[in-house]
Structure 1
């Protein structure tokens, strides 16, 4: 089976931070909710510490094997975009693993190109939290 169209990636700085967080906390995962304030930033948790909802969408894996989930409601708005997770100075959420580091994760986005969108449309639907784990 051909690889899916990339929907999410990390900048080099974000990938370095994720590697440090994995060294400290073990495997991690991301979740992007549709909430306000800190809920609008991608949150990084120890894998298994955040319960994914049945309708949450798995956009892909970053930093090797860290799953990046998005709430279904948020995905409706972001489905036409490619997301890049970056890291910037500032106070992260108290719940996200980067908070004590004095930085926070931030999403940057761009609209998928026509070619990328054609590929996405031809692919099977993205997995959800209701699908059996692979």
Structure 2
């Protein structure tokens, strides 16, 4: 996984802020991780849809869920930051994880873990037909 957003540079799909390969606050730890179950689902979705990306929803219509899209299909903008380029075993390219900058300001003290739980996903996220949904779990960083 790639380091987080503190060493940000302009770029990224749709004009969002994309972090460079530099360190985040003296650490190379990513602010985003995935569970084995999430990694398995990501591999399956990659096989069906090609390269993927995530955008952490702000909660308006989908309960603040991480939304999974074909890479580039969700247009990021100047108010978004790329938190990680997730390296998933069995997926040939990194899976970018994006969030709005204002939401990241509230969550920057946490490590975010992408997990999968049974249930109905958002109609726009790729896992919706699978009978499961992605979920973010957060833990305070120490």
Normalising by structure 2, we get a TM-score of 0.75
**Which residues of structure 1 form unaligned runs of 5+?**
114-134
**Structure 1 segment 1-134 matched on structure 2, within 5 A:** 4-64=28-88, 65-113=94-142
Which is helix-richer, 1 or 2?
A: 1
Alpha-carbon separation, structure 2, partners of 1:69 and 1:5:
16
Deviations 1:80-123 (A, max 9, x none): 0000000000000000000000000000010111xxxxxxxxxx
Equivalents in 1 of 2:28, 2:84: separation in Å? 9
Question: Distance between the aligned counterparts of 1:58 and 1:51, measured in 2?
Answer: 12
User: What is the CA distance between 1:63 and its match in structure 2?
Assistant: 4.1
- Gapped regions of structure 2 (runs ≥ 5): 1-21, 89-93
TM-score (norm: length of structure 1) = 0.79
* Count of residues paired in the alignment: 113
Q: Cα–Cα, structure 1 residues 20 and 63, in superposed 2: closer, same or farther, change >3 Å? A: farther
- In 2, Cα distance between equivalents of 1:107 and 1:37: 16
C-alpha RMSD of matched pairs (Å): 1.5
